Each structure stands twice: as C-alpha cells, then as structure tokens.
Amino acid sequence: MVFEKGALIAEGKTKRVFELAGDARRAVIESKDDITAGDGVRCDLIPGKGAISGRTTANVFRFLNKHGVATHFVDAPNDRTMVVQRCKMIPLEVVIRRIAAGSYLKRNPEAKEGEKLEPVVLEFFLKDDARHDPLIEKHEIMKEKIATASEVGEMENLARLVFLLLEEAWKQQDVVLVDLKIEFGRTTAGGKLVLADVVDNDSWRIWPHGRKEEMLDKQVYRNDKAINAEGLERVKRNYEIVAEMTAKFVDTKIE
Ligand code: C5P
C-alpha cells in the first residue's frame, strides 16, 4: 500500500497518530520504541520495539478482521505502521479477565492469583492519567455521556468476542491468555463503534503452559524495577517471540 503521512494528530507514550495525506477518513498509527510503566513514571527505549509491536498488533487485527470483528485496521504498510479508519476514541479501557491477576486482586481480596474466572470478568476504566485510570461503572459511563447504553452493550459484546477469539488462538499454541485491555472508537466516517488503538504485547498477560513464571508480556518489564541493559534485552527477546507467535494467528482455525 502506498501511503503518505500528514500532520501529527496525537502522540501517546508508545505511538504517534498522523493524518493520512489526502484521505480524511483514514489515519496512520506508528509504534514507537518506548516502553513505559506506572503511568509513564518509568520509561525506557528498546531500539526496534516499535517494529516488533507493530507486527504484533497487525497480526492481531488481521486475525480479528478475518473473524468478523469490526476493527479500525485497514493495512500495515510496514512493520511499525498501520493504516486505520480514522476514529474518535472513547476514553475507556476495557479489560477482560479469564484468570485473577494484577489490579483485580487488589479490588477483590478474596480472589486468589491464578484462579479461573468463569464467565470472563469485564471491567471499564476511565482513561484519566491524573486519576490513575479509575474503575468506572456502566451507569456512570452513561451518566457522564461517555457512551450511550447501546454502545456500552456493543462494547461488552465485542470485548467478549475479541477475548474469546484471542484466547482460542493462544490456546492453540499452549499459551493462556490471562487478561486483555482493549479500546474502542467511533469512525469519523459513520460513527460506527470499532475496536481501535493497538493490541500488542503491552495489552495482555500471557502465561505459556498456564505458568506465570514463563510470562512473555510487558509484566516482565513492570516487575523489573531496576532494569538494566540485560533486562531490556530479555524483554525485547520476549516481544520478538510474541511477534513470531502471533504471526500464526491468521491461520488459526476457530470452531
Ligand atoms: O493492571 P491490571 O490487572 O488492571 O491490567 C489488566 C490488563 O490490562 C493487563 O493485561 C495489562 O497489561 C492491561 N493494561 C494495559 N494498559 C493499562 C492498564 C492495564 O494494557 N493502562
């Protein structure tokens, strides 16, 4: 795909969003080499991470598009770049959990880490750095006019579908998808709700063979508080492994 970036629209901790020159309905997302934790308090550079994350997110979106999920993904003209349908983002993080871990344990002290959640648990968090992305209830989302009741329902259904598809794709490689964070947007062209942003190795917890000790995701970086060059190299190797593994998703057969 031939494409030309236009003006910078937005810059996040790990990506930049540009206009697509000559096409107001589309945009360009470029992954950066940064890795951050604790609301950006910790930040490191892993040269090449942008390309690795870009490959992962393109693999995930191609797989989801193939299975009928409405996403913003159009194409990935190179490793670090996606062309997407331009969206107005809904300022929510939607987290789906199969296994009790992370912040769920703090909010649910009776839960044991590693416990299976059946059915999956769905949570909404308001994207608000100053308030450390607090949990938000569905009635508050509607009251604050962040999304309508029907959009909340649509997000719940899509989030479950996305999780179950990715859970199955990972299962076929003997990896347990513990939890996943996704974001939604409304297309500027028609206001349609679609899965947007990126889904990469920063977005989930994945435990090969169901073993937390073997985790390959960003949690390795979060846990390594005094990370050195060797630690960053290990994190990069994990991200490369995940990019390779997700390349197989598109051929995954879903029953
Ligand atoms: O920390 P917590 O348990 O709420 O995280 C749940 C999931 O959401 C994890 O997979 C984590 O990587 C992801 N997450 C994220 N971005 C955030 C917060 C959590 O991708 N800002």
Condensed to tens digits (0 to 9), the pLDDT of residues 163-211 reads 999 999 999 999 999 999 999 999 999 999 999 999 999 999 999 999 9
Amino acid found at 207:
W
CATH code of the domain occupying 5-87: 3.30.200.20
Q: Is the CB of 183 under 6 A from ligand 1?
A: no
User: Which residue in 248, 218, 250, 241 sits closest to 43, CA to CA?
Assistant: 218
Predicted pLDDT at 83: 98
In terms of Cβ atoms closer than 10 Å to its own Cβ (0-12, 13-18, 19+), residue 133 is middle
Exposure class string for 153-180: b at 16+ Cβ within 10 A, else e: ebbeebbebbbbbbbbbbeeeebbbbbb
Q: Across all residues in the chain, what is the average pLDDT?
A: 97
Query: Are 173 and 210 spatial neighbours (Cβ–Cβ below 8 Å)?
Result: no
Fold matches, 5-87 and 89-228: no
Predicted pLDDT at 253: 93
User: From CA 143, how far away is CA 163, in angstroms rounded?
Assistant: 27
**Ligand 1: which atom is nearest the Cα of residue 103?**
3
pLDDT of 40 over the 90 cut? no
pLDDT digits (tens, 9 = 90+) for 134-168: 999 999 999 999 999 999 999 999 999 999 999 99
Q: Is the CB of 208 under 6 A from ligand 1?
A: no
Domain map (residue ranges) of the chain? 5-87, 89-228
User: From CA 67, how far away is CA 211, in angstroms rounded?
Assistant: 28
pLDDT of 255 over the 90 cut? no
What's the DSSP call for residue 90?
P
Q: How far is the CA of 45 from the centre of ligand 1 (A)?
A: 20
**Ligand 1: which atom is nearest the Cα of residue 102?**
3
User: From CA 150, how far away is CA 5, in angstroms rounded?
Assistant: 34
pLDDT of 39 over the 90 cut? no
pLDDT class for 133, splitting at 50, 70, 90? very high
pLDDT class for 1, splitting at 50, 70, 90? confident
User: From CA 58, how far away is CA 249, in angstroms rounded?
Assistant: 11
pLDDT of 231 over the 90 cut? yes
Q: Which residues pair with 60 in a beta bridge?
A: none
What is the distance in angstroms between the CA of the first residue and the CA of the last residue of the chain?
Answer: 32
Predicted pLDDT at 112: 98
Q: How far is the CA of 145 from the centre of ligand 1 (A)?
A: 24
User: From CA 149, how far away is CA 137, in angstroms rounded?
Assistant: 12
Written in H, E and C, the secondary structure of 10-24 is EECCCEEEEEECCEE
The fold adopted by the segment(s) 89-228 is D-amino Acid Aminotransferase; Chain A, domain 1 (3.30.470)
The structure tokens 């390779």 sit at 244
pLDDT digits (tens, 9 = 90+) for 64-90: 999 999 999 999 999 999 999 999 999
